[in-house]
Copies of this chain bind each other. A is one copy, B any other.
Amino acid sequence: MGAMQQAISSFTVPTRGKRLYEFTDEAARWIAGSGIGSGLLTLFCRHTSASLLITENAAPAVQRDLLAWLDRTVPEGAGFEHDDEGPDDMPAHIRSVLTGTSLQVPVESGRMLLGTWQGLFLAEHRAAPHERQVAAHLVGE
């Protein structure tokens, strides 16, 4: 058993509209180069109108259905008081809270313990292009 250590980094996810953006491979590469073989990965979205989530990464229809459900359930034009930045402003905040700001994934033998179909996604809830920052923390040995 080695001594416990940690690594901290960040990813930039450029977004072009309301979609899911997978970054599983970037996270996997960072872990592989970190010198930490087993431990816990945490990813944190530094924004309140984008979020992080894990869902199926094989069928693109899953992502479309998820986004369509969010569109229906937290609709634009629902009479929100806060609309400083347009009709997608407040729905983006609510959708971010519902889907969450951070992810955790245990790591063993240098690999995330993801299930077969699990991918890591940044969910962009604003229509305009953004450069989203994801902070990453890995603790282990």
Copies in the complex: 3
In the bound complex, do residue B44 and residue A113 qualify as a contact, i.e. CB atoms below 8 Å apart?
yes
In the bound complex, do residue A44 and residue B93 qualify as a contact, i.e. CB atoms below 8 Å apart?
no
Contact indicator per residue, chain A 29-50, by CB within 8 Å of chain B (1) or not (0): 0000000001110101011100
In the bound complex, do residue A106 and residue B59 qualify as a contact, i.e. CB atoms below 8 Å apart?
no
21 contacts between A and B (CB under 8 A): A3-B3, A3-B4, A4-B4, A4-B139, A8-B106, A39-B139, A40-B137, A42-B104, A42-B106, A44-B104, A44-B106, A48-B55, A54-B101, A55-B96, A64-B81, A64-B82, A66-B94, A66-B97, A98-B98, A104-B104, A139-B139
Of all A-B residue pairs in the complex, the 4 with the closest CB atoms, nearest first, are A46-B115, A61-B82, A106-B137, A4-B4
